[in-house]
Amino acid sequence: MDTTDLPKVVLGLVKAQNDFDAVAYADCFTENAEVFDEGKTYKGKDEIKAWIEDANKRYQVMMKPVAYTKMSDTSSVLSAEISGSFPGSPLVLQYHLNIKEEEIHSLEITS
């Protein structure tokens, strides 16, 4: 996929993930953002940073965008192949994003 078509904040999220940079990852979100992943909710930049930092240590996830669909002005879905040290690697996950003013307000990760 041509990643130049991705919004700046999504490119930043992918880069932060692939650099294992929890601070840069959390900085893609608003102060009150929410992330839903594996049945858990993480609220605010501090919880998001702690969640991704832990996931990076445990799984060393690398992300490769494969498709991006804009659903509305603020809603979109990024399909990304993720690989790392977890069972079933690699696999494709859907990142359901709510983006306003170049910041992520919510993210839900589904398979």
What is the topology classification, in CATH, of domain 3-110?
A: Nuclear Transport Factor 2; Chain: A, (3.10.450)
Amino acid 9 reads: V
Looking at residue 3, its pLDDT comes to 85
Q: Angle at the Cα of 57 (from 52 to 53), degrees rounded to 5?
A: 25
Give the global pTM. Answer: 0.95
Between CA 33 and CA 37 the distance in angstroms is 13
> Where do the domains of the chain lie?
3-110
pLDDT in tens, the chain (111 residues): 888 889 999 999 999 999 999 999 999 999 999 999 999 999 999 999 999 999 999 999 999 999 999 999 999 999 999 999 999 999 999 999 999 999 999 999 999
